[in-house]
Amino acid sequence: MPPTLLLVAFLAVLGGAIAAPPRAPAGWSLHRRADPDALLTLKFSLVQSNLDKLDAFLLDVADPQSPHYGQHWSPSRVKETFRPSAESVDTVQAWLTHDAGIHADKIKLSAGGDILHLDVTIAEAESLLETEYYLYSDNEDGSVRVGCHEGYTLPEHISKHVELVWPTVHFGGPRALSRRGESISKSSSRVGRDSGASKTPIENIVALAEVDCDTSVTLDCLRALYNFDFTPVSGDVNTVGVVEFGKNVYRPWNLDMFFETYSPDQVGVIPTLISVEGGDPTAAGVVDEASLDIELMMGLLGPGQNLSLYQVAQTNTSLDPTDRLLAALDESYCSVAPAESEGITDCGNKPRTNVISISYHLNPDLNDPAISPVVQRQCAEFGKLALTGITFVASSGDYGVSYAGQCLVDGALAFGNPSGSFVAQLPASCSYITAVGGTSVAAGASTDQVEESTTDFWSGGGFSNNFARPAWQDAAVQNYLDNFAPNYDASVFNRSGRAYPDVAANGYPIVVSEKGRFVHTGGTSASAPIFASLIAAVNDARLAAGKGPVGFINPALYSTSFAGAFKDVTVGNNPGCQTDGFPAAPGWDPVSGLGTPNFVKLRDAFLALP
Ligand SMILES: *[C@@H]1O[C@H](CO)[C@@H](O)[C@H](O)[C@H]1NC(C)=O
Ligand SMILES: *[C@@H]1O[C@H](CO)[C@@H](O)[C@H](O)[C@H]1NC(C)=O
Ligand SMILES: *[C@@H]1O[C@H](CO)[C@@H](O)[C@H](O)[C@H]1NC(C)=O
């Protein structure tokens, strides 16, 4: 027998022998088969119209060369443009009634026109979707979900009209993450904070006024580093927000302690609350993330600019917190969210600020049937919101090329930074977000010198497995891949994926007041709000000049007219998954992006645009 045939035969036998029991998604245990008579609300999320043109629509308003630069869309134009077609509604409805024999009265269309939902028995759902339904229990809180992790099948003429069916392979929110090997407490969240840097108490804050920015990063250090000389003039019309999820809350007395030292005019001032799903910043919780974000943004922007706080409630029901935020900003997203166990009530009723800063890692960017449809839908939603003129800024992560210490081994996420494929993180790896990596002032260096990628934690960066590389970063990323990228095996990272971060800003050792004391802390959790503050200040100048907010900035940042707006960070790397990660390099790199900003040049480049 020729060797190739032997191999085939061997594999066939092996394949049969090791047919493993179906594997539940990470974090869930397969409980048992669902009862055939149990009732289930099935939701068919219809394909949005024109989604393939989203990138072109965005470039039309965000490419500095475009004659329509800055002409953002109204929310109603966005809604009408992407509303599923009547053909999709009719085709799926006809299939359900004629072929599947479901009574027309049982099929309802959501108010937004994008979801068909119907109550069926498990047995009916199984026959409709050619699958088997199981119950799964949450390893974290024991709650039980129904789903079909092995996938489902729709006839071809139907599947092209259906984006997702709920509940099927996706079980709601991202799994709780662990930080430094510790599990985040159950009640806290299913999202991770990006403040992964170590923390040290500061004994004598007064003396810190005299120390250098390599050992203590104050507001003045940040102003010096980024040429950030700013007094708001459009504070009455300009808006900027920060998102805090779950139990991450702030305490006014910590802000006051910070302001007494660094910005006395702001003592007694707190952010303007935008409560999402009843999120309450005065509730019990942990203060590190919110203290860091709010003190930096309020402090940098000063007393003339209000900061809005999107406080997004999160319980243990597995509902994805990203969905809560997106639904609160866009009514048409509300019906998309898998809210069968707990309805989303804030649907498009919350104000949209011009800039929104997010210092959290949400879903892992995995090419996985249980994750991809969800994260693609979420990322598209960020893009649709960007089309209306919102700039989303997010931290790139504090764990190098791993996803909070997890790498992909044999198709599954594994803890402990094992040898495996790199894992990007949402929302940073979504192309419609501006992702910010972390830097530090090198030991003994001054604020005039170029920073280095931080070594106090590893700046998150890499390549998406769900989103293709956008045209606006093509040249910059290709230059890196051709000239500087390590020669990793093709399976280690996805050379054709969207690459991040886009930019960088200081991440350590930031001086913050929390729990009644000053500490050195940081992470890209700090980098994102710092950069977001600069963009809010750019908007302030544009509004004063009679122009609109900048909205989606990535195409501009990578364009030649912004070449002088960044200091190129070329020292450092971002280890993870038992590798050295990527090295920083001249030009864009997946550790520090385009580099750290020079505010005056950034502002002037945006002011030169229509
Ligand atoms: C968490 O979920 C479990 C099971 O669904 C429920 O019994 C419990 O009350 C929930 N806890 C909180 C704090 O919401
Ligand atoms: C900030 O918010 C407060 C309270 O809502 C308001 O009174 C004040 O006018 C706002 N400041 C600016 C600059 O818009
Ligand atoms: C790499 O990215 C592309 C573009 O998004 C995607 O189509 C492809 O599936 C990704 N490859 C892997 C191995 O995930």
18-51 tens-digit pLDDT: 334 456 776 778 889 999 999 988 889 899 999 9
Residue 536 CB-half CA count within 13 A: 35
**Is any atom of ligand 1 closer than 6 Å to the C-beta of 185?**
no
Examine the pLDDT at 162 and tell me if it is beyond 90.
yes
**Is any atom of ligand 1 closer than 6 Å to the C-beta of 200?**
no
What mean pLDDT comes out for the span 563-589?
Answer: 97
Pairing mode, if any, of strands 566-567 and 407-409? unpaired
Going from the Cα of 580 to the center of ligand 1, the distance in angstroms, rounded, reads 41
Find the helix or strand (DSSP H, E) in which 157 lies. helix 156-159
Residue 320 banded pLDDT, cuts 50, 70, 90: confident
Active site residue 293: yes
pLDDT tens sequence across 225-257: 999 999 999 999 999 999 999 889 999 999 999
Examine the pLDDT at 528 and tell me if it is beyond 50.
yes
Whole-prediction pTM: 0.90
266-275, 312-321, 452-461: which has the minimum mean pLDDT?
A: 312-321
Residue 208 banded pLDDT, cuts 50, 70, 90: low
Going from the Cα of 273 to the center of ligand 2, the distance in angstroms, rounded, reads 12
Examine the pLDDT at 300 and tell me if it is beyond 50.
yes
Give percent of the chain above pLDDT 70: 89
Examine the pLDDT at 113 and tell me if it is beyond 90.
no
Which pLDDT does position 207 carry in this prediction? 63
How far from 429 is each of 142, 197, 308, 387, CA to CA, in Å? 30, 21, 24, 18
Cα dihedral 472→62→360→603 (10° resolution): 100
Of 182, 46, 178, 168, residue with least CA distance to 116 = 46
CA distance 426 to 364: 6
The structure tokens listed for 146 are 């129904």
CA distance 114 to 119: 17
CA distance 254 to 291: 7
Of 427, 459, 597, 434, residue with least CA distance to 528 = 434
Going from the Cα of 326 to the center of ligand 2, the distance in angstroms, rounded, reads 25
**Mean pLDDT highest for which of 366-370, 409-413, 415-419, 541-545?**
541-545
Pocket test for ligand 1, best of 139, 146, 316, 319 (most atoms within 8 A of CB): 316
Which pLDDT does position 183 carry in this prediction? 27
Catalytically annotated residue among 126, 244, 293, 295: 293
Contact assessment for residue 243 and residue 325, using Cβ atoms and an 8 Å cutoff: yes
CA distance 400 to 575: 5
Residue with the smallest CA separation from ligand 1 atom 6 is: 143
Contact assessment for residue 425 and residue 191, using Cβ atoms and an 8 Å cutoff: no
**Is any atom of ligand 3 closer than 6 Å to the C-beta of 372?**
no
The structure tokens listed for 296 are 């930096």
Residue 171 banded pLDDT, cuts 50, 70, 90: low
Which pLDDT does position 342 carry in this prediction? 52
Which ligand is closest in space to the CA of residue 239? 2
Catalytically annotated residue among 440, 525, 527, 592: 525
**Is any atom of ligand 1 closer than 6 Å to the C-beta of 513?**
no
Examine the pLDDT at 301 and tell me if it is beyond 70.
yes
CA distance 223 to 227: 6
CA distance 391 to 397: 19
Residue 213 CB burial class (10 angstroms; 0-12, 13-18, ≥19)? buried
**Is any atom of ligand 3 closer than 6 Å to the C-beta of 367?**
yes
Residue 438 CB-half CA count within 13 A: 32
What mean pLDDT comes out for the span 52-64?
Answer: 98
Going from the Cα of 536 to the center of ligand 3, the distance in angstroms, rounded, reads 34
Question: Measuring from each residue's beta carbon to the nearest atom of ligand 2, which residues come in under 6 Å?
Answer: 235-236, 272, 304, 306
What mean pLDDT comes out for the span 585-609?
Answer: 98
Of 235, 203, 222, 310, residue with least CA distance to 263 = 222
CA distance 346 to 350: 7
Residues 6+ apart with CB under 8 A from 453: 437, 438, 439, 440, 459, 504, 569, 571, 572, 573, 574, 584, 591, 592
Examine the pLDDT at 182 and tell me if it is beyond 50.
no
Which pLDDT does position 180 carry in this prediction? 26
Contact assessment for residue 393 and residue 535, using Cβ atoms and an 8 Å cutoff: yes
Which pLDDT does position 529 carry in this prediction? 98
Pocket test for ligand 3, best of 492, 496, 498, 500 (most atoms within 8 A of CB): 496
Residue 191 banded pLDDT, cuts 50, 70, 90: low
Going from the Cα of 187 to the center of ligand 1, the distance in angstroms, rounded, reads 9
Residue 326 banded pLDDT, cuts 50, 70, 90: very high
How far from 125 is each of 91, 103, 170, CA to CA, in Å? 18, 14, 16
Examine the pLDDT at 299 and tell me if it is beyond 80.
yes
What mean pLDDT comes out for the span 435-456?
Answer: 96
Residues 6+ apart with CB under 8 A from 78: 384, 387, 388
Of 87, 97, 104, 100, residue with least CA distance to 46 = 87
Residue 258 banded pLDDT, cuts 50, 70, 90: very high
Which pLDDT does position 334 carry in this prediction? 78
What mean pLDDT comes out for the span 139-162?
Answer: 86
Among the atoms of ligand 3, which is closest to the Cα of residue 495? 1
The structure tokens listed for 88 are 């999709």
CA distance 292 to 519: 10
Pocket test for ligand 2, best of 233, 236, 306 (most atoms within 8 A of CB): 306
Going from the Cα of 340 to the center of ligand 1, the distance in angstroms, rounded, reads 15
User: Phi, psi at residue 373, to the nearest 5°?
Assistant: -60, -35
Residues 6+ apart with CB under 8 A from 210: none
Which pLDDT does position 10 carry in this prediction? 30
Find the helix or strand (DSSP H, E) in which 291 lies. helix 288-301
Q: Angle CA(384)–CA(387)–CA(391) in degrees, nearest 5?
A: 100
CA distance 379 to 530: 23
Going from the Cα of 259 to the center of ligand 3, the distance in angstroms, rounded, reads 46
Active site residue 525: yes
The SS3 of residue 62 is helix
**Is any atom of ligand 3 closer than 6 Å to the C-beta of 463?**
no
Which pLDDT does position 170 carry in this prediction? 73
Which pLDDT does position 22 carry in this prediction? 54
**Structural domains present in the chain:** 4-48+84-166 (no CATH), 179-607 (3.40.50.200)
Which ligand is closest in space to the CA of residue 368? 3
Contact assessment for residue 256 and residue 299, using Cβ atoms and an 8 Å cutoff: no
What mean pLDDT comes out for the span 156-178?
Answer: 72
Which pLDDT does position 317 carry in this prediction? 54
What mean pLDDT comes out for the span 419-437?
Answer: 97
111 vs 388, residue with greater confidence: 388
Going from the Cα of 240 to the center of ligand 2, the distance in angstroms, rounded, reads 13
Pocket test for ligand 1, best of 136, 138, 141, 340 (most atoms within 8 A of CB): 141
Q: Angle CA(114)–CA(119)–CA(123) in degrees, nearest 5?
A: 120
Mean predicted lDDT score pLDDT of the chain: 88
CA distance 426 to 322: 10
CA distance 496 to 485: 13
How far from 227 is each of 224, 447, 529, CA to CA, in Å? 5, 10, 16
User: Which residues sit in the known binding site for Ca(2+)?
Assistant: 568-569, 587, 589
29 vs 598, residue with greater confidence: 598
Which pLDDT does position 200 carry in this prediction? 80
Ramachandran assignment for 26, one of left (phi > 0), alpha (psi -120 to 50 degrees), beta (any other) = beta
**Is any atom of ligand 1 closer than 6 Å to the C-beta of 139?**
no
**Is any atom of ligand 1 closer than 6 Å to the C-beta of 220?**
no
Among the atoms of ligand 3, which is closest to the Cα of residue 467? 5
